[in-house]
Structure 1
């Protein structure tokens, strides 16, 4: 099995190298962000960063950027004063892998919906 995985570019060494590469990319983006004055972090996830894809599949790169001046709320009790608050929305009309974020102003009024 190991030889077969090595042959298609999905062996243990390749998987470990991909994981190290994406961890480095996360650190570089975070440092670059901080040097530009933003307090944010970058996270890679999915088949590329996990090393579970093979060359030729044209797998996408999944990213999450997290800014410390934002609050993502799943319930109203998570609302924080002085922060940009975003409420997670998800229902039967939303695809399983997607969520909507509704921008909430500092005084709890609706200011618009944004899809992510």
Structure 2
């Protein structure tokens, strides 16, 4: 089995190398954002970062969490003085996705100023 895994590119050494690579990428992302004054957590996951991939059958997912952003599901979780986004679905939203409504920093009401034709603030 080990020989077959090595031949397919999923052997122990390759797995350890890929995991190390993605851990370093996470650290690099964190440092880059920190230099810009933003404190974030960065996570790579999926078959590539797990090291469990074979040619033509891999995925790589990336998640960033900004510490200064509050993502809420109900307005009661709103926090003053920080970025707040309310998660919601509509009839056109796929089940695994959410839309985000920008909520004002000074009051738990939706923002109404359009910026760049894509973001209300």
Between stretches 105-114 and 82-91, larger displacement belongs to 105-114
- The answer for the alignment partner of 2:20 in structure 1 is 20
1:73 equivalent to 2:81? Answer no
* CA drift at 1:93: 4.4
TM-score by length of structure 1 reads: 0.80
Structure 2 CA distance for partners of 1:19 and 1:105, relative to 1, 3 Å: same
TM-score by length of structure 2 reads: 0.77
Secondary structure at the counterpart of residue 97 of structure 1: coil
5+ residue gaps, structure 1, are none
4+ runs deviating over 4 angstroms = none
* CA drift at 1:99: 2.1
Taking the TM superposition and a 5 Å limit, the aligned residue runs for 1:19-98 are: 19-57=19-57, 59-90=58-89, 93-98=92-97
- The answer for the alignment partner of 1:102 in structure 2 is 101
Structure 2 CA distance for partners of 1:9 and 1:100, relative to 1, 3 Å: same
Structure 2 CA distance for partners of 1:98 and 1:12, relative to 1, 3 Å: farther
Secondary structure at the counterpart of residue 16 of structure 1: helix
1:10 equivalent to 2:18? Answer no
Structure 2 CA distance for partners of 1:91 and 1:10, relative to 1, 3 Å: farther
Between stretches 77-86 and 105-114, larger displacement belongs to 105-114
Q: CA RMSD in A?
A: 2.3
Distance 1:7 1:13 in 2: 12
* CA drift at 1:97: 3.1
